[in-house]
């Protein structure tokens, strides 16, 4: 009947919205990305799952192009199925969600979109890294290290903006990003926190500086937080105490 683009959040299934959980419970088919996979535990066994994950470098992922994914969504929608298109983080933040909506709308397939917790904000927050801090950083900018047609962000302009810089899809390009920002005048001592596999059991946080970022061990997927707010060290996040209720 309808194709629902649903944000899966950064990984921890408890960060799903109530609406996402409801739609996953009533779906006929779930078409999911690689980064949305941790959330599949909440999908009933009877629901058909289609993995269309693209990421992970050459040879990795399901091999689907964006055009193929658009076609799959249109075909499933035309079959009259209730389809959840489960996307990592928020569907409209570097997720090509708008392209999928345009394809559905052009084909006359009804669609909805459900926001998700974007890794750009959710991963630093869950790791205890503030993006803004009174007197330290009054703004943050989110960029993707990879742009269409192999273009690069304007690191020189980004270095001038000030505030906190959040970089997605930048783990493998961290050396080049650091060099570009240093060349643009940012201080080598600028604080950086790199959070890999954020909100998941395998999460790794690396605290470093812009000068050292190129040689720091950072595994993808990672969210890089660059700027003075990343130097604000909060007390460790308290472990959640589960209290049994009778
Ligand atoms: C294609 S973008 C999709 C972003 C997604 N739509 C969102 O709002 O989070 C994928 C990038 O998001 C970041 N990312 C996604 N999940 C992450 C996680 N659990 N921990 C750290 N970074 C993550 C990484 O930078 C990764 O390369």
Supply the pLDDT for residue 240: 67
Q: What residue's CA is closest to ligand 1, atom 16?
A: 10
- How many angstroms separate the Cα of 84 from the Cα of each of 37, 87, 154? 13, 9, 35
Q: What residue's CA is closest to ligand 1, atom 5?
A: 89
CB 11 within 8 Å of CB 200:
yes
User: Shortest CA distance to 226 belongs to which of 125, 140, 121, 123?
Assistant: 140
Supply the pLDDT for residue 148: 86
Q: Does residue 146 register a pLDDT over 70?
A: yes
How far, in Å, is the centroid of ligand 1 from the Cα of 43? Answer: 21
Lining ligand 1 with CB less than 6 A are 10-11, 35, 88-90, 93-95, 118-120, 123, 168-169, 195-200, 220-223
Which position has the token pair 């650091």?
Answer: 178
Span 114-132, average pLDDT: 98
How far, in Å, is the centroid of ligand 1 from the Cα of 187? Answer: 26
Supply the pLDDT for residue 55: 60
Supply the pLDDT for residue 54: 73
51 is catalytic: no
Supply the pLDDT for residue 175: 98
Supply the pLDDT for residue 238: 75
Supply the pLDDT for residue 60: 56
Partnered with residue 87 across adjacent β-strands are 7
For a substitution probing ligand 1, which of 221, 224, 226 has the most ligand atoms within 8 Å of its CB? Answer: 221
Supply the pLDDT for residue 35: 87
For a substitution probing ligand 1, which of 16, 57, 88 has the most ligand atoms within 8 Å of its CB? Answer: 88
Supply the pLDDT for residue 218: 98
Beta-strand runs (E) in the chain: 3-7, 29-32, 48-51, 83-87, 111-114, 140-144, 164-168, 191-196, 204-209, 222-226
How far, in Å, is the centroid of ligand 1 from the Cα of 244? Answer: 34
């Amino acid at each position: 009947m309808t194709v629902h683009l649903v944000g899966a959040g950064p990984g921890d299934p408890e960060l799903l919205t109530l609406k996402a959980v409801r739609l996953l419970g009533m779906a006929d088919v779930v078409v999911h990305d690689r980064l949305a996979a941790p959330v599949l535990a909440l999908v009933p066994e009877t629901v058909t799952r289609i993995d269309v994950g693209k990421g992970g470098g050459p040879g990795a992922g399901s091999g689907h192009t964006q055009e193929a994914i658009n076609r799959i969504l249109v075909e499933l929608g035309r079959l009259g199925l209730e389809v959840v298109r489960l996307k990592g983080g928020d569907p409209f933040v570097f997720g090509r969600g708008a392209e999928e909506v345009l394809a559905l709308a052009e084909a006359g397939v009804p669609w909805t979109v459900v926001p998700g917790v974007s890794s750009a904000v959710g991963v630093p927050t869950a790791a205890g890294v503030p993006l803004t801090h009174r007197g330290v950083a009054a703004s943050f900018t989110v960029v993707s290290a990879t742009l269409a047609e192999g273009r690069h962000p304007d690191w020189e302009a980004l270095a001038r903006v000030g505030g906190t810089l959040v970089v997605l899809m930048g783990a493998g390009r961290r050396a080049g990003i650091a060099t570009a920002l240093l060349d643009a005048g940012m201080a080598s001592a600028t604080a950086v926190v790199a959070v890999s596999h954020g909100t998941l059991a395998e999460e790794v946080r690396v605290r470093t500086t812009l000068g050292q970022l190129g040689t720091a061990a950072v595994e993808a997927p990672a969210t890089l937080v660059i700027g003075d707010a990343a130097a604000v060290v909060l007390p460790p996040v308290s472990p959640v105490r589960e209290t049994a209720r009778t």
